[in-house]
Structure 1
């Protein structure tokens, strides 16, 4: 049977002598068939191998002619030895040098795994000698044979034999890192240390110049061995290149150099690393300049041991006007995987098939940086289950099956640390923190300002802060050379649809960064069905980030501060912008009025509801939009929407009042006051009413009374009896706090008169309930208080005001306790606790339990009281209700005293005293001192009794109820003396 030689120019041997194949093309057809002897080779493969990608029209005839000549050369058995089967042409030859090479290579590997390196060396030398020159398509195997021969020479102690391959090592393109490793090691082992250092420097330059890469891990490790003058240690890894099985293959390591001063990202790094298992695709997505490439490179380095066949890296230039074509990238990858230039297929499908073939059985990591979209990435995914991919992109890459790791600005501490490292700052000053915030904690921006401060010591943090504080100039300051924060945002913005771009231009002018899907809908003119698509487009572009996923219209989004600045800088159409904002604020007002009127709290009647769909959960709606509603009056007023401004502010009061957000209520009052002269009477009245609430809460009762009287004048001017009654209720609360009880009673009398003239149902019934409740807290004796509290409860139940119901039960419990009806008192207070919890008022519920415990103390049920007080102490500590916590601890001291445990009572009283020492509440401290003095009296500790009584007496006015107790405790001395 004939023999084929293909490890060089193709030769057919018959009876040991060459046979003329009859020309170049028959010889090429023979070579292609001989390389795959015994298996069918499709005609299309033969044509591609011989004629390339642009064959002539007569190629079928020419192939037949070439096949005929090969058959003729094979002799009488030509049609049997070269036959056409369903899968293609099959050539049968007895032996080939390629088969011998592969057999000898396998023998050498077996010998090496058995530890018989001399036998392995012989086999590898014999195999390598079969090559008569490079062969297209077999170059990787030729280099692998040379590599094995060099390894065997080094392991068996013959480095000089390796040096004979110098020309092969230095001429291979692209550079073959393992061959260079062996050559450099041979130089070192032969005693030429300087030559080894020069060779290592040369390969570093060649890798940088030809591929833009740093040396891989093996060459880096070798440099360490050389520096330690221990080249023998570098022999250990190379045996594994053979005994690990299979021919040696190029091991690319193409990651860019590690970034200087990498800071933070521990959580994201751990998340990405956990996801990066064989077969995974991990997408790191985020705004431009957020540090995606740096994190991807770091994760890839950390995962290197899991992917022993190396790492491919490429910048897909997704932010350029012309991103890289996947076809070109595949060519780059194939060259990195050892395919010579002239063998890389031009045909797209052939190139893709070869890439998938090469990656099918490898454990390779592929890093695709700066992807444009999923389509660009899809063809670059390796085929093997042992491979993994990291993609970075400024979009969420919809359509790509990947696990996503979102990347946002650095945490404050990490941002400050990065600035300190970049500038060498030793002190953690407020200016450094401020500068980090002004740079949006965006790594790119931080590096720009950090480099500028480090370069110009005269600039300093304070001056840099001053420059960035000016929003109009900030983006200009956050630019240096080709690094510009502005471009990071503009690229994504320019790719948006017209509707999404318009929506983004609207929301970046909102006075707060966070807004809901519902708000976005109000500030756009698109069909409501398109709003969710628009928000998804903006989120996919990383121009908005989801901060609260409720699955409905209350889902919240936020735009990065620098995104807001960039889009504002782009949007120069002020007239259109103001029209859009005005329309949006009016939509917000409509919903706010409706939500406010749907709230189950009635003490502050708001505006009449405008036509709108009822709000399913008004409390949740206000909670989701609170920050915007507080800031909206000022923003709306700034664009001339004065009427909209005061109405939004007024609509928000009931929610803020109920949730005790007095600082935010003060913001609204301050804004409305600046335009009060331009408001209608009702707007002025409600502005003064809001201000009075804020003044009352801050303890400025005289000013609060004055503002409430101003409000009442305006309410009377518009003839609004319900709101005037509500104002009188507020006036009664303020005057009662100011200890002007007669004025409080007079205010409630007038309110009751006003309400008698209107139908008391719904909200008006609720206002009536609050008037009765404040009257109950003002009147004396207990029977009148009880009557008013019961009337209040009836009104609240009629109005559907759960807050009022809870408060009425609480007052009834206190009144009944004073009357000695302890069981009824406890039931009302228990009901109050449940009612408070039902509306989310945990603080109110705990306080009701505290009062219920006091009822048990009054009734002598000390064990029950101790159980409740322990619960109040635990809850108050958890919720950091410091005053109630201290009061409950004092109550426990009272219980221990009444149970006769005076030592325990004394210890607990001292604990309570230490707690109130941190509070600025004189009456609470006085109450603790009263208990301490009583415990001291029971123990006969007269010095402690006198000290506690004197200190407590100094904390309260003479007409305070505690004063009488302190005087009585002091009088014990006089009684003893008498």
Structure 2
């Protein structure tokens, strides 16, 4: 068996390619292959399959994919190749069977041969490695996580290709390389190293004019696409070709570049680094990234530009500490000196590059009188002095690219470490080291080092709480530790008590010259007026995350303008992207201590009226988007009762992008919906409160967030009762009753429906009455009260027809059809279902269409038309999976399993019923779980396994009795009796 990822994903057995199944299955296999022989957590597999929006059934879906892969491998005697581990799965396969591993081994062997000056052997291994590639790695695997890994493989491939070509150029094979290099340059037009290699190959082949044309095309491409000139080395190469420089002639043998120290310069060797931190804690990953990248840059003989590393993070995160510590650990690699400057980028008056260059030039031995007056002249002298030297330059707290660019050396021997609250995207090709807060263990470790290990060890619980109150922010932890160290009579619990008062937290987090408020304030004050206003108003929101659109509502500005301001805040590290969502669907958050500061500024600088109006606009916009998402998911206002709360709309094009996938939008906004309902109640926005609660049910019901459903509706019901809002009370009681149906608490549901029906009647809301009557009819049907059910369905249908609510009418017709089936009238049920299907499609509701199709499948089952039933259930399954409805999927799988069972397809029936049982259990849908168990019981009887059938039927009966589902209880009893009788006769 051979596994191939260096091109489209393939698995071959004896040169025959296996059918790898659907895309989810392929993504799961690719993810396992990329980490072969290591445990891949279930969460990582789910992320790979669903990117940033895994459904609640993701774990079950991963299990299904793994089962399918095991069956596929099992057919070739390799069923145990995927092992289950505590946290996930491991693909156990000898590395040599994976083409990526063989490629890496060959490339490593080539580098070893090159280093030992076995150049022909090195080229041979390079070419063998490159021959394993069949195209773009893992092409066709539509997964962000998989493609991220694939892009790293692709980058490794082109670098290996460049290394091989350079070696062949040095061996004098320029003639035969021209064609290959031309193709590679066409495929990678921005790779300057490839351009240089092609120019040299052409020049050495006597094609000087073509070599110069390659440079001209490179220059045109880079200016057009990037707005920059080619790098200095490519420009120098053009000049050398123009002048027929002898250095371009082929060397007699490849020249090995060594890392020998350059001769000591006669100028001084500056050592300007601040003292290293004695209690440096954690940050192993960040330090290792910096060390590794600097080592790779130093070991790259073809590197032309100075390596630049930008350490990025919010105020107080420890950027300077990391940069200084990293600089000390690599100082011996830069024997010609270490330069350091604090640029004060967050201050009102940042340090100018002119001033820094004067300091640097003096440190390099330039007399004061010889320092040039102009910025460009100083920068030129600086670059000239560093031209042949290995120098490490550390630039702390850079505010902009303009502060940094004049301070960059002009050669690749030196290196630059920059810290900034911004990514400094205008710099060419830097490596970014993103710094986040400590984890809990690192936080407690830092407190131990400053306040004393014994002291912290004696009260670890309080120390952990203290770390949380500091937001795991290193500067805040350092201040807290210093305060404890300075006050040995304080207990940790005592400091925790002082910090728990949010209004005083920033006052407490100050010690000597260190202070969190001052650190954040410096960045806040440097922002523009509108950005500062947005920063303050974002603190109005109780949710820990917020979406990009909220800025427009808070400021009452067009979305594009507000997004620019939000991006400014993110660049300044005052807010941070969460990494979920992209573009207009991006999500952001505050660090806890930055939120505290924002709330201070909000209280000090915004009036109560301004705060209230801004909050109402945000909640009104959230309601507008929730209603749009609901309409697109359901195809109308089905199950909705509208309130009179004011909606704030967004441009239709933006709404289309935000809720392209309605359920994904609901999932992203779930914390904001729950927090918004609570805030609306607290602010006295009663109508907004209950209308938002109703709108959120689309999410709560489809993804089984029953705790959220209960909590938000209890809040909204209290608010409506306090305000005397009868319509709001009725809407809440109806929705809570629907929750009780989901939980199979039928008696509680009937009580709330009766009260809601009375209240809707008092306010004259016919739509509300119809919705309640429809649900009462369902309860009647489940309780076997068929006449009452028919009457309630008919009353609801009459109202929906009168109001033109096609989707709601379709749902009622679907309920009436089920009633006809239970009364053994499949012909009457068929007519009702045909009309229901037409209306649901006319209304654009895929959800109701799926429910109608499911009922049609049951009708065909009852009529004994099992092939047709199976086909209808398959169509149902396609619809519910497309709609992201796991509950509907469980029911559709159950129906498909029963249809296959009745056709005698026992293996296929078991697969569908087991999948239905797993899925129903994962989403808490007890009725579907009971029906799947009943199907498995019938299957066991068909296999003459009465004991297993008895177990399944007893579990199903217990579920039906617990929820009061008498109709299904009546179906389970005869099957259980038969199973027990067969068991007794064994």
Instruction: Tell me whether the two structures share a fold, i.e. TM-score over 0.5.
Output: yes
Equivalence for 1:256: 274
Give 1:830 deviation, angstroms. 0.7
> Closer, same or farther in 2 for the Cα pair 1:779/1:516, shift >3 Å?
farther
Equivalence for 1:720: 765
Aligned 1:163-178 pairs, distance under 5 A: none
SS in 1 for 2:311: strand
SS in 2 for 1:638: helix
Q: Summarize deviations over 1:182-239 as a string: whole Å, max 9, x none.
A: xxxxxxxxxxxxxxxxxxxxxxxxxxxxxxxxxxxxxxxxxxxxxxxxxxxxxxxxxx
Residue 380 in 1 paired to residue 412 in 2?
no
Contact 1:769/1:804 (<8 A) preserved: no
Following the alignment from structure 2 to structure 1, what is the Cα–Cα distance between the partners of residues 459 and 789?
Answer: 54
Contact 1:242/1:248 (<8 A) preserved: no
Contact 2:809/2:836 (<8 A) preserved: no
SS in 1 for 2:584: coil
Aligned 1:938-953 pairs, distance under 5 A: none
Residue 639 in 1 paired to residue 687 in 2?
no
Aligned 1:594-609 pairs, distance under 5 A: 594-600=628-634, 603-607=638-642
> Closer, same or farther in 2 for the Cα pair 1:329/1:599, shift >3 Å?
same
Following the alignment from structure 1 to structure 2, what is the Cα–Cα distance between the partners of residues 547 and 300?
Answer: 30
Following the alignment from structure 1 to structure 2, what is the Cα–Cα distance between the partners of residues 877 and 736?
Answer: 24
Aligned partner (choices 542, 557, 576) of residue 545 of structure 1: 576
SS in 1 for 2:640: coil
Aligned partner (choices 619, 623, 634) of residue 589 of structure 1: 623
Following the alignment from structure 1 to structure 2, what is the Cα–Cα distance between the partners of residues 779 and 428?
Answer: 69
Structure 1 residues 804-813 or 730-739, which shifts more? 730-739
Contact 1:732/1:774 (<8 A) preserved: no
Residue 356 in 1 paired to residue 388 in 2?
no
Q: Summarize deviations over 1:593-617 as a string: whole Å, max 9, x none.
A: 3443343255412428979555423
Structure 1 gap segments, 5+ residues each: 1-239, 929-951
SS in 2 for 1:312: strand
> Closer, same or farther in 2 for the Cα pair 1:508/1:719, shift >3 Å?
same
Equivalence for 1:857: 901
Detail structure 1 runs of 4+ shifted over 6 Å in the superposition: 240-243, 608-611, 870-894, 925-928, 955-959, 972-976
Give 1:712 deviation, angstroms. 1.4
Aligned 1:173-184 pairs, distance under 5 A: none
Equivalence for 2:539: 508
Following the alignment from structure 1 to structure 2, what is the Cα–Cα distance between the partners of residues 958 and 887?
Answer: 8
SS in 2 for 1:473: helix
Contact 1:600/1:801 (<8 A) preserved: yes
SS in 1 for 2:610: helix
SS in 2 for 1:404: strand
Aligned partner (choices 613, 627, 634) of residue 579 of structure 1: 613
> Closer, same or farther in 2 for the Cα pair 1:720/1:247, shift >3 Å?
closer
SS in 2 for 1:580: helix
Q: Summarize deviations over 1:485-540 as a string: whole Å, max 9, x none.
A: 11221111111111111112111111213222212111113344422321221111
Residue 440 in 1 paired to residue 440 in 2?
no
Following the alignment from structure 2 to structure 1, what is the Cα–Cα distance between the partners of residues 985 and 935?
Answer: 28
Q: Summarize deviations over 1:284-319 as a string: whole Å, max 9, x none.
A: 122111011122223334444543434222222334
Q: Summarize deviations over 1:77-129 as a string: whole Å, max 9, x none.
A: xxxxxxxxxxxxxxxxxxxxxxxxxxxxxxxxxxxxxxxxxxxxxxxxxxxxx
Residue 369 in 1 paired to residue 413 in 2?
no
Following the alignment from structure 2 to structure 1, what is the Cα–Cα distance between the partners of residues 983 and 806?
Answer: 60
Following the alignment from structure 1 to structure 2, what is the Cα–Cα distance between the partners of residues 768 and 611?
Answer: 33
Equivalence for 1:648: 692
Following the alignment from structure 2 to structure 1, what is the Cα–Cα distance between the partners of residues 978 and 261?
Answer: 98
Give 1:421 deviation, angstroms. 5.1
Equivalence for 1:839: 883
Equivalence for 2:708: 664
Contact 2:397/2:420 (<8 A) preserved: yes
Residue 535 in 1 paired to residue 566 in 2?
yes
Contact 1:729/1:770 (<8 A) preserved: no
Give 1:667 deviation, angstroms. 2.7
Aligned partner (choices 511, 528, 550) of residue 497 of structure 1: 528
Contact 1:489/1:566 (<8 A) preserved: yes
Contact 1:517/1:555 (<8 A) preserved: yes
> Closer, same or farther in 2 for the Cα pair 1:582/1:640, shift >3 Å?
same
User: Which of the pair has more CA radius of gyration?
Assistant: 1
> Closer, same or farther in 2 for the Cα pair 1:622/1:787, shift >3 Å?
same
Following the alignment from structure 2 to structure 1, what is the Cα–Cα distance between the partners of residues 593 and 928?
Answer: 44
Aligned partner (choices 406, 411, 420) of residue 434 of structure 2: 406
SS in 2 for 1:765: helix
Following the alignment from structure 1 to structure 2, what is the Cα–Cα distance between the partners of residues 703 and 888?
Answer: 26
> Closer, same or farther in 2 for the Cα pair 1:753/1:896, shift >3 Å?
closer
Give 1:773 deviation, angstroms. 6.2
Structure 2 gap segments, 5+ residues each: 1-257, 299-305
Give 1:452 deviation, angstroms. 3.8
Give 1:551 deviation, angstroms. 4.8
Residue 825 in 1 paired to residue 857 in 2?
no
Contact 1:745/1:778 (<8 A) preserved: no
Higher relative contact order (CA closer than 8 Å, sequence separation 6+): 2
Following the alignment from structure 1 to structure 2, what is the Cα–Cα distance between the partners of residues 974 and 281?
Answer: 80
Give 1:566 deviation, angstroms. 0.2
RMSD: 4.1
> Closer, same or farther in 2 for the Cα pair 1:780/1:275, shift >3 Å?
farther
SS in 2 for 1:314: strand
Aligned 1:448-487 pairs, distance under 5 A: 448-453=479-484, 459-487=490-518
Following the alignment from structure 1 to structure 2, what is the Cα–Cα distance between the partners of residues 377 and 973?
Answer: 83
Aligned partner (choices 562, 587, 596) of residue 565 of structure 1: 596
> Closer, same or farther in 2 for the Cα pair 1:882/1:727, shift >3 Å?
closer
Following the alignment from structure 1 to structure 2, what is the Cα–Cα distance between the partners of residues 781 and 419?
Answer: 75
Following the alignment from structure 1 to structure 2, what is the Cα–Cα distance between the partners of residues 821 and 835?
Answer: 22
Contact 1:522/1:588 (<8 A) preserved: no
Equivalence for 2:361: 334
Following the alignment from structure 2 to structure 1, what is the Cα–Cα distance between the partners of residues 693 and 861?
Answer: 41
Give 1:384 deviation, angstroms. 2.0
Contact 1:736/1:778 (<8 A) preserved: no
SS in 2 for 1:282: strand
> Closer, same or farther in 2 for the Cα pair 1:827/1:246, shift >3 Å?
same
> Closer, same or farther in 2 for the Cα pair 1:681/1:878, shift >3 Å?
closer
> Closer, same or farther in 2 for the Cα pair 1:639/1:887, shift >3 Å?
closer
> Closer, same or farther in 2 for the Cα pair 1:323/1:597, shift >3 Å?
same
SS in 2 for 1:675: helix
Equivalence for 1:693: 738
Contact 1:676/1:683 (<8 A) preserved: yes
Contact 1:766/1:799 (<8 A) preserved: no
Equivalence for 1:286: 313
Aligned 1:713-792 pairs, distance under 5 A: 713-736=758-781, 744-756=789-801, 758-769=802-813, 771-772=815-816, 775=819, 788-792=832-836
What is the aligned length? 699
Following the alignment from structure 1 to structure 2, what is the Cα–Cα distance between the partners of residues 243 and 590?
Answer: 67
Following the alignment from structure 1 to structure 2, what is the Cα–Cα distance between the partners of residues 973 and 927?
Answer: 22
> Closer, same or farther in 2 for the Cα pair 1:289/1:647, shift >3 Å?
same
Residue 317 in 1 paired to residue 351 in 2?
no
Contact 2:927/2:959 (<8 A) preserved: no
Following the alignment from structure 2 to structure 1, what is the Cα–Cα distance between the partners of residues 854 and 700?
Answer: 22
Following the alignment from structure 1 to structure 2, what is the Cα–Cα distance between the partners of residues 696 and 332?
Answer: 75
Give 1:366 deviation, angstroms. 0.7
Contact 1:363/1:386 (<8 A) preserved: yes
Q: Summarize deviations over 1:808-830 as a string: whole Å, max 9, x none.
A: 22232234323322112111111
Give 1:620 deviation, angstroms. 4.1
Aligned partner (choices 923, 931, 937) of residue 955 of structure 2: 923
TM-score normalized with structure 1 length: 0.64
SS in 2 for 1:257: coil
Contact 1:853/1:865 (<8 A) preserved: yes
> Closer, same or farther in 2 for the Cα pair 1:263/1:882, shift >3 Å?
farther
Structure 1 residues 597-606 or 283-292, which shifts more? 597-606
> Closer, same or farther in 2 for the Cα pair 1:883/1:321, shift >3 Å?
same
